[in-house]
Structure 1
Amino acid sequence: MHVVGPADDFNRSLSEIIGAKIAEVERRVFPDGEICPRIVETSGLNGSNVILSMRMKSGGNPNTYLSEVLFTIRNLREELKAGKIIAVIPYFPYARQDEIFRPGEPLSSRYVAEMLEEAGADAVISVTVHLHRIKSFSDIFSRAKAVNVSGFSGIARVLKNRELKDPVVIAPDGEGIAWAKELADLMGIKEYGAFKKERDLNTGEIRTQLVEMDLRGRDVLIADDIVSTGGTMVNALAGVRKMGARRAIAAFVHPVLAPGAIDRILALADEVISSDTIEWPGSKATAVREVADAVKELL
């Protein structure tokens, strides 16, 4: 059994837990932007069960990342004749497009699932997938086994080491209430809520309406799955500050973090806690334990 991917901390931990060797991937990019992900050590892959584990870089390009994953799966299947292929994709690209919001748009999340199956993935493991309008991660797949593990479990393990005063968990918008409840349950916090957010589908402008909640002197955990531009998180942080929060902690799973996002967040947050589903040096939590458990169940 092999873990195919960069020999980084995430994959070293994963390989140790499941008892696999690492077959390192070299992520080459040509001057024109074309990519050539090369598996450096190919011996032993023929017929071997393979866990392909590659993460997107924070602030990176999801198109490049998705191409790397698809090319490597196909390479493993067609050229290297690997056995069972489990693709670990901690941050699932295009998951937010889980519905056709305006006429003429693609149903991108389902198309990505189909491409992964066509490339040769037997199973796909992801973390806290953003599928609000689809009941289950497996619903967008037709053949491959799909497993969606929690990224908030690792965040909760970190937060339990913090001394929190009368904590409450708040989601930046109504769709994120499930994340607030999940983190609250993991932390044993009884109170949670959500802001109301409206987004203009044409301009992308975000308007946030404050919830009615007494936060004076309390520590607030703002829970979300993805932070990209940071606009939604910043609005929520500003809101809880106005409502008298003693401390405000931004807790999110996927640090996509477009340029400038983290600076805007740190201007209002006392601490930022994110998972390592994306390559970002500021991540304090890890989802490796949950991913490893899912791999063991699939093998």
Structure 2
Amino acid sequence: MSITINHISKSYKNVEALKDISFDVKAGELFGLIGPDGAGKTTLFRILTTLLIADTGNATVSNFDVVKDYKKIRNSVGYMPGKFSLYQDLTVEENLNFFATIFGTTIQENYHLIKDIYIQIEPFKNRRAGKLSGGMKQKLALCCALIHKPEVLFLDEPTTGVDPVSRKEFWDMLKRLQQTGITILVSTPYMDEAALCDRIAFIQNGAILEIDTPKAIVNHFSKTLYNISADNMYQLMESLRFYKHTFSVYPFGEYVHYSDNRMNMNPDELNDYLQSKGLKEITIEVMRPTIEDTFMALAK
């Protein structure tokens, strides 16, 4: 295993950030830690990258203990924190040279690792990092995290606040990096990105809800899911929330995703109920659940 986490717990005063967390990440795996803000993702990353010490439990990265072997871990991993943390007064090229020098290497030595990313920011190599766009900052941070050829790459919410095109490009880059043998642990609040991982762990309020492949997790959704629309979204939500057979209901774009407490719901009965509440243009369709639907069900 590239990463092992055994019964890790961490609290800040009265807040339990992590509650008895345990899981493994295989060598060469692209593993996703999926959960909303405040779920505990960043705290776990800081423990694994030796920036925090857990209250209880232990963990290893590349067979190095995160407490006893912290210096070895810092030399063998790449870490891209959620907040842009490079030197904003230095240029793109100066930042990259600085990090290469710290790790006793050069840009040329590991250029093959960052080439696909660096050629996109090279036209701005003389621009100060603080003046880059969000997507360009993200690419520069990834280059700096890779310049010493790490065995394990930690990416804490790397695409938060980045435009959709840059998000797609970033995940394409991660897939290519994985092919070089690097183990990647990435956290994200975006459920659509979960489907791009080999395995995912759902985390909520510091606890792991489930760990499996994206496909297997979706298959665990045990209820029939319905896509419902009507002429008044707010009234539709309120009516479904107070329906006596409702198990879950939440907005999903132009629709509402609904599941029922009963094993065999009659859509016509639900339609009649919604009409009695004054709703019109009602559509009720069975749909295949998504990863987000599964997370919502587990969190409930």
Structure label with greater radius of gyration: 2
Normalized per residue, the structure richer in helix is 2
Which structure would you say has the larger RCO, counting Cα contacts within 8 Å and 6 or more residues apart? 2
Same fold (TM over 0.5): no
Structure 2-normalised TM-score? 0.32
